[in-house]
Protein backbone atom coordinates (compact mmCIF):
# COMPACT_ATOMS: atom_id res chain seq x y z
CA UNK A 1 0.00 0.00 0.00
CA UNK A 2 1.50 3.30 -1.09
CA UNK A 3 0.82 6.16 1.33
CA UNK A 4 3.85 8.43 0.91
CA UNK A 5 5.79 9.86 -2.01
CA UNK A 6 9.22 8.50 -1.10
CA UNK A 7 10.96 10.34 -3.94
CA UNK A 8 9.65 13.71 -2.74
CA UNK A 9 10.56 12.86 0.84
CA UNK A 10 14.15 12.12 -0.22
CA UNK A 11 14.32 15.51 -1.96
CA UNK A 12 12.95 17.23 1.15
CA UNK A 13 15.55 15.51 3.31
CA UNK A 14 18.34 16.41 0.87
CA UNK A 15 17.29 20.04 1.22
CA UNK A 16 16.88 19.81 5.02
CA UNK A 17 20.45 18.55 5.39
CA UNK A 18 21.58 22.12 4.68
CA UNK A 19 19.18 23.70 7.20
CA UNK A 20 20.55 25.48 10.28
CA UNK A 21 21.60 23.25 13.17
CA UNK A 22 18.91 24.87 15.35
CA UNK A 23 16.23 22.85 13.54
CA UNK A 24 17.58 19.60 15.01
CA UNK A 25 16.24 20.19 18.54
CA UNK A 26 13.29 17.76 18.28
CA UNK A 27 15.20 14.90 16.65
CA UNK A 28 18.06 15.38 19.12
CA UNK A 29 15.64 15.17 22.04
CA UNK A 30 13.87 12.04 20.74
CA UNK A 31 17.20 10.34 19.97
CA UNK A 32 18.44 11.13 23.47
CA UNK A 33 15.32 9.63 25.07
CA UNK A 34 15.59 6.58 22.84
CA UNK A 35 19.25 5.96 23.70
CA UNK A 36 18.46 6.37 27.41
CA UNK A 37 16.46 3.14 27.13
CA UNK A 38 19.69 1.26 26.44
CA UNK A 39 20.63 1.88 30.07
CA UNK A 40 17.87 -0.53 31.07
CA UNK A 41 19.39 -3.34 28.99
CA UNK A 42 22.32 -5.24 30.52
CA UNK A 43 23.83 -6.33 27.24
CA UNK A 44 26.56 -5.12 24.90
CA UNK A 45 25.92 -4.56 21.22
CA UNK A 46 29.24 -4.61 19.31
CA UNK A 47 27.71 -4.00 15.85
CA UNK A 48 24.76 -1.63 15.59
CA UNK A 49 22.91 0.13 12.76
CA UNK A 50 21.08 3.45 12.74
CA UNK A 51 18.42 3.19 10.04
CA UNK A 52 17.17 6.53 8.76
CA UNK A 53 20.06 8.22 10.53
CA UNK A 54 19.12 11.81 9.57
CA UNK A 55 22.10 14.01 10.54
CA UNK A 56 23.54 11.55 13.07
CA UNK A 57 21.24 12.33 16.01
CA UNK A 58 21.64 8.85 17.51
CA UNK A 59 25.44 8.92 17.21
CA UNK A 60 25.49 12.23 19.08
CA UNK A 61 23.12 10.84 21.72
CA UNK A 62 25.28 7.74 22.19
CA UNK A 63 28.32 9.93 22.78
CA UNK A 64 30.89 8.02 24.83
CA UNK A 65 28.40 5.39 26.04
CA UNK A 66 30.13 2.00 25.95
CA UNK A 67 29.00 -1.33 24.54
CA UNK A 68 29.01 -0.39 20.85
CA UNK A 69 32.10 -0.88 18.69
CA UNK A 70 30.66 -0.04 15.26
CA UNK A 71 27.65 2.03 14.18
CA UNK A 72 26.42 1.70 10.59
CA UNK A 73 24.54 4.79 9.39
CA UNK A 74 21.89 4.08 6.72
CA UNK A 75 19.78 6.73 5.01
CA UNK A 76 18.07 7.23 1.65
CA UNK A 77 19.40 10.80 1.48
CA UNK A 78 23.03 11.20 0.40
CA UNK A 79 23.01 14.76 1.76
CA UNK A 80 21.84 13.55 5.18
CA UNK A 81 24.59 10.93 5.26
CA UNK A 82 27.19 13.56 4.35
CA UNK A 83 25.87 15.83 7.10
CA UNK A 84 25.98 12.96 9.62
CA UNK A 85 29.57 12.20 8.65
CA UNK A 86 30.51 15.86 9.03
CA UNK A 87 28.80 16.13 12.45
CA UNK A 88 30.38 12.90 13.70
CA UNK A 89 33.86 14.01 12.65
CA UNK A 90 33.60 16.88 15.12
CA UNK A 91 33.29 14.47 18.04
CA UNK A 92 35.57 11.87 19.55
CA UNK A 93 33.18 8.94 19.20
CA UNK A 94 34.34 5.68 20.83
CA UNK A 95 33.02 3.55 17.97
CA UNK A 96 33.73 3.10 14.29
CA UNK A 97 31.26 4.71 11.88
CA UNK A 98 30.18 3.43 8.47
CA UNK A 99 27.85 5.21 6.04
CA UNK A 100 25.56 3.49 3.51
CA UNK A 101 23.05 5.17 1.21
CA UNK A 102 20.01 2.93 0.82
CA UNK A 103 16.24 3.27 0.70
CA UNK A 104 14.95 2.18 4.11
CA UNK A 105 12.41 -0.01 2.30
CA UNK A 106 15.20 -2.01 0.60
CA UNK A 107 17.44 -2.98 3.52
CA UNK A 108 17.93 -6.56 2.37
CA UNK A 109 20.19 -5.27 -0.40
CA UNK A 110 22.78 -3.91 2.05
CA UNK A 111 22.34 -5.82 5.32
CA UNK A 112 23.45 -9.43 5.66
CA UNK A 113 21.37 -11.91 7.58
CA UNK A 114 22.30 -12.32 11.27
CA UNK A 115 24.86 -9.51 11.05
CA UNK A 116 23.73 -6.94 13.65
CA UNK A 117 23.50 -6.99 17.42
CA UNK A 118 21.35 -3.86 17.61
CA UNK A 119 19.18 -1.87 15.20
CA UNK A 120 18.17 1.68 16.11
CA UNK A 121 15.81 4.01 14.29
CA UNK A 122 14.73 7.46 15.43
CA UNK A 123 12.21 9.75 13.76
CA UNK A 124 12.33 8.03 10.34
CA UNK A 125 9.98 5.04 10.31
CA UNK A 126 6.84 7.21 9.95
CA UNK A 127 7.68 7.85 6.26
CA UNK A 128 7.97 4.16 5.32
CA UNK A 129 5.14 2.73 3.20
CA UNK A 130 5.78 -0.94 3.89
CA UNK A 131 6.31 -1.12 7.65
CA UNK A 132 5.80 -4.92 7.83
CA UNK A 133 8.44 -5.39 5.13
CA UNK A 134 10.79 -2.99 6.91
CA UNK A 135 10.41 -4.81 10.24
CA UNK A 136 10.91 -8.18 8.57
CA UNK A 137 14.17 -6.91 7.04
CA UNK A 138 15.31 -5.65 10.44
CA UNK A 139 14.52 -9.02 12.02
CA UNK A 140 16.44 -10.82 9.27
CA UNK A 141 19.53 -8.61 9.81
CA UNK A 142 19.58 -9.07 13.59
CA UNK A 143 21.54 -11.85 15.24
CA UNK A 144 19.57 -14.20 17.52
CA UNK A 145 18.76 -12.29 20.73
CA UNK A 146 19.54 -9.05 18.88
CA UNK A 147 17.54 -5.95 19.84
CA UNK A 148 15.45 -3.53 17.79
CA UNK A 149 14.90 -0.14 19.42
CA UNK A 150 13.00 2.61 17.61
CA UNK A 151 11.14 5.88 18.10
CA UNK A 152 8.48 7.20 15.74
CA UNK A 153 5.75 9.87 15.85
CA UNK A 154 2.27 8.59 16.66
CA UNK A 155 -1.33 9.48 15.85
CA UNK A 156 -1.67 12.53 18.11
CA UNK A 157 1.33 14.27 16.52
CA UNK A 158 0.53 17.78 15.25
CA UNK A 159 -3.11 17.36 16.26
CA UNK A 160 -3.40 21.14 16.76
CA UNK A 161 -2.18 21.89 13.23
CA UNK A 162 -4.48 19.22 11.81
CA UNK A 163 -7.49 20.73 13.63
CA UNK A 164 -6.65 24.28 12.55
CA UNK A 165 -6.52 23.29 8.86
CA UNK A 166 -9.74 21.30 9.22
CA UNK A 167 -11.53 24.40 10.54
CA UNK A 168 -10.05 26.55 7.76
CA UNK A 169 -10.95 24.06 5.01
CA UNK A 170 -14.53 23.70 6.22
CA UNK A 171 -14.93 27.45 6.47
CA UNK A 172 -13.31 28.46 3.16
CA UNK A 173 -13.70 25.37 0.94
CA UNK A 174 -16.63 23.41 2.34
CA UNK A 175 -14.51 20.25 2.56
CA UNK A 176 -11.37 18.84 4.16
CA UNK A 177 -7.97 18.05 2.63
CA UNK A 178 -5.17 16.12 4.44
CA UNK A 179 -2.60 18.82 5.21
CA UNK A 180 -0.87 16.73 7.89
CA UNK A 181 0.61 13.29 7.26
CA UNK A 182 -1.17 10.25 8.74
CA UNK A 183 0.57 8.55 11.66
CA UNK A 184 0.30 5.07 13.16
CA UNK A 185 -1.55 4.22 16.37
CA UNK A 186 0.13 2.62 19.38
CA UNK A 187 -1.83 -0.64 19.17
CA UNK A 188 -0.69 -1.04 15.55
CA UNK A 189 2.99 -0.84 16.59
CA UNK A 190 2.71 -3.68 19.07
CA UNK A 191 0.71 -5.81 16.65
CA UNK A 192 3.26 -5.23 13.88
CA UNK A 193 6.20 -6.27 16.04
CA UNK A 194 4.47 -9.48 17.06
CA UNK A 195 3.19 -10.28 13.58
CA UNK A 196 6.65 -9.81 12.06
CA UNK A 197 8.19 -12.30 14.49
CA UNK A 198 9.75 -10.16 17.22
CA UNK A 199 9.84 -11.64 20.71
CA UNK A 200 8.98 -9.70 23.87
CA UNK A 201 7.52 -6.69 21.97
CA UNK A 202 7.06 -3.55 24.06
CA UNK A 203 5.61 -0.17 23.13
CA UNK A 204 5.45 2.89 25.35
CA UNK A 205 4.51 6.44 24.53
CA UNK A 206 5.08 9.99 25.66
CA UNK A 207 4.19 13.43 24.36
CA UNK A 208 6.58 16.29 23.72
CA UNK A 209 4.91 19.70 23.48
CA UNK A 210 6.86 22.49 21.77
CA UNK A 211 5.57 26.07 21.78
CA UNK A 212 5.92 28.43 18.82
CA UNK A 213 5.31 32.12 18.26
CA UNK A 214 2.87 31.37 15.43
CA UNK A 215 1.85 28.68 12.95
CA UNK A 216 4.23 30.03 10.30
CA UNK A 217 7.23 29.39 12.59
CA UNK A 218 6.05 25.83 13.22
CA UNK A 219 5.77 25.13 9.49
CA UNK A 220 9.17 26.73 8.84
CA UNK A 221 10.74 24.39 11.42
CA UNK A 222 8.99 21.33 9.99
CA UNK A 223 10.39 22.23 6.58
CA UNK A 224 13.83 22.74 8.12
CA UNK A 225 13.67 19.24 9.57
CA UNK A 226 12.47 17.72 6.28
CA UNK A 227 9.18 16.77 7.96
CA UNK A 228 6.69 18.33 5.55
CA UNK A 229 3.71 16.27 4.43
CA UNK A 230 4.31 13.93 1.46
CA UNK A 231 1.19 11.76 1.64
CA UNK A 232 -0.09 10.94 -1.83
CA UNK A 233 -3.57 12.18 -0.85
CA UNK A 234 -2.31 15.60 0.25
CA UNK A 235 -3.52 18.86 -1.25
CA UNK A 236 -0.97 19.86 -3.89
CA UNK A 237 -1.37 23.54 -3.06
CA UNK A 238 -2.91 25.62 -0.29
CA UNK A 239 -4.48 28.96 -1.07
CA UNK A 240 -3.34 32.02 0.84
CA UNK A 241 -6.89 32.40 2.13
CA UNK A 242 -6.94 28.91 3.67
CA UNK A 243 -3.43 29.32 5.07
CA UNK A 244 -4.29 32.56 6.86
CA UNK A 245 -7.57 31.12 8.11
CA UNK A 246 -5.72 28.12 9.54
CA UNK A 247 -3.23 30.40 11.32
CA UNK A 248 -6.09 32.39 12.84
CA UNK A 249 -7.91 29.20 13.91
CA UNK A 250 -4.73 27.80 15.48
CA UNK A 251 -4.28 30.94 17.55
CA UNK A 252 -7.95 31.13 18.54
CA UNK A 253 -8.16 27.47 19.58
CA UNK A 254 -4.79 26.84 21.21
CA UNK A 255 -2.88 30.01 22.16
CA UNK A 256 -1.76 29.96 25.81
CA UNK A 257 -1.74 32.88 28.25
CA UNK A 258 1.54 34.13 26.75
CA UNK A 259 0.22 33.95 23.19
CA UNK A 260 2.38 30.95 22.27
CA UNK A 261 1.01 28.05 20.21
CA UNK A 262 1.60 24.45 21.40
CA UNK A 263 2.45 21.67 18.95
CA UNK A 264 2.16 18.11 20.24
CA UNK A 265 4.55 15.38 19.12
CA UNK A 266 3.40 11.97 20.35
CA UNK A 267 6.34 9.56 20.30
CA UNK A 268 6.09 5.78 20.34
CA UNK A 269 9.13 3.85 21.60
CA UNK A 270 9.32 0.29 20.29
CA UNK A 271 11.44 -2.57 21.59
CA UNK A 272 11.57 -6.05 20.10
CA UNK A 273 14.03 -8.94 20.18
CA UNK A 274 14.99 -11.57 17.64
CA UNK A 275 13.89 -14.90 19.15
CA UNK A 276 16.49 -16.94 21.07
CA UNK A 277 16.15 -20.01 23.33
CA UNK A 278 17.49 -18.07 26.33
CA UNK A 279 14.60 -15.60 26.29
CA UNK A 280 11.71 -16.03 28.77
CA UNK A 281 8.72 -17.84 27.31
CA UNK A 282 5.02 -17.47 28.17
CA UNK A 283 3.50 -20.39 30.06
CA UNK A 284 1.65 -22.99 28.00
CA UNK A 285 -2.05 -22.49 27.60
CA UNK A 286 -3.93 -24.32 30.38
CA UNK A 287 -0.90 -24.58 32.69
CA UNK A 288 -2.24 -22.15 35.33
CA UNK A 289 -2.54 -23.58 38.85
CA UNK A 290 -5.26 -21.16 40.04
CA UNK A 291 -8.51 -19.99 38.50
CA UNK A 292 -9.08 -16.27 38.06
CA UNK A 293 -12.12 -16.43 40.37
CA UNK A 294 -10.02 -18.05 43.08
CA UNK A 295 -7.28 -15.42 42.71
CA UNK A 296 -9.89 -12.68 43.02
CA UNK A 297 -11.21 -14.24 46.24
CA UNK A 298 -7.67 -14.39 47.66
CA UNK A 299 -7.12 -10.75 46.72
CA UNK A 300 -10.33 -9.66 48.45
CA UNK A 301 -9.37 -11.66 51.54
CA UNK A 302 -5.94 -10.01 51.67
CA UNK A 303 -7.46 -6.54 51.23
CA UNK A 304 -9.86 -7.23 54.09
CA UNK A 305 -6.97 -8.34 56.32
CA UNK A 306 -4.95 -5.23 55.50
CA UNK A 307 -7.93 -2.98 56.20
CA UNK A 308 -8.53 -4.61 59.59
CA UNK A 309 -4.86 -4.18 60.43
CA UNK A 310 -4.97 -0.50 59.49
CA UNK A 311 -8.05 0.05 61.68
CA UNK A 312 -6.38 -1.78 64.59
CA UNK A 313 -3.24 0.33 64.30
CA UNK A 314 -5.27 3.53 64.08
CA UNK A 315 -7.22 2.61 67.23
CA UNK A 316 -3.97 1.85 69.05
CA UNK A 317 -2.54 5.22 68.03
CA UNK A 318 -5.68 7.01 69.25
CA UNK A 319 -5.54 5.18 72.59
CA UNK A 320 -1.87 6.10 73.06
CA UNK A 321 -2.63 9.72 72.23
CA UNK A 322 -5.47 9.78 74.80
CA UNK A 323 -3.22 8.30 77.54
CA UNK A 324 -0.54 10.86 76.76
CA UNK A 325 -3.08 13.69 77.05
CA UNK A 326 -4.27 12.45 80.49
CA UNK A 327 -0.70 12.27 81.79
CA UNK A 328 0.07 15.77 80.53
CA UNK A 329 -3.10 17.00 82.24
pLDDT for res 195: 93
pLDDT of 329 reads 56
Say what the pLDDT of residue 55 is: 95
Task: Per residue of the chain (329 residues), give pLDDT as tens.
Answer: 789 999 999 999 999 999 988 899 999 999 999 999 998 888 899 999 999 999 999 999 998 888 899 999 999 999 999 999 999 999 889 999 999 999 999 999 999 999 999 999 999 999 999 999 999 999 999 999 999 999 999 999 999 999 999 999 998 888 788 889 899 988 888 899 999 999 999 999 999 999 999 999 999 999 999 999 999 988 778 899 999 999 999 999 999 999 999 999 999 999 999 998 887 776 666 666 767 677 778 788 888 888 888 888 877 777 776 666 666 65
| pLDDT tens profile 7-45 | 999 999 999 999 988 899 999 999 999 999 998 888 899
pTM for the complete prediction?
0.83
Task: Say what the pLDDT of residue 325 is.
Answer: 61
What's residue 21's pLDDT? 86
Give a three-class secondary structure readout of the chain.
CCCECHHHHHHHHHHHCCCCHHHHHHHHHHHHHHHHHHHHCCCCCCEEEEECCCCCHHHHHHCCCCCCCEEEEEECCHHHHHHHHHHHHCCCCCCEEEEEECCHHHHHHCCCCCCEEEEEEECCHHHCCCHHHHHHHHHHHEEEEEEEEEEEEECCCCHHHHHHHHHHHHHHCCCCCCCCCCCECHHHHHHHHHHCCCEEEEEEEEEEEEEECCHHHHHHHHHHHCCCCCECCCCCCCCHHHHHHHHHHHHHHHCCCCCCEEEEEEEEEEEEECCCCCCCCCCCCCCCCCCHHHHHHHHHHHHHHHHHHHHHHHHHHHHHHHHHHHHHC
Res 176: pLDDT = 81
Amino acid sequence: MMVFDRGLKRLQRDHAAFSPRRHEYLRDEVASRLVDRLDDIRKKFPVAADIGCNTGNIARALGKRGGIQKLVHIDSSAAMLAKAKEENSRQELPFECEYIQCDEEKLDSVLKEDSLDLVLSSFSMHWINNLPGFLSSVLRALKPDGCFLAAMPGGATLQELRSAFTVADMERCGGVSPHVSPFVQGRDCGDLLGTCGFALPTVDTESIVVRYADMFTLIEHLQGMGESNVSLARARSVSRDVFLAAAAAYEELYADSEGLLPATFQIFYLIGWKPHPSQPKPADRGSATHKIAALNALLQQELKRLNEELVKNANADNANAADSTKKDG
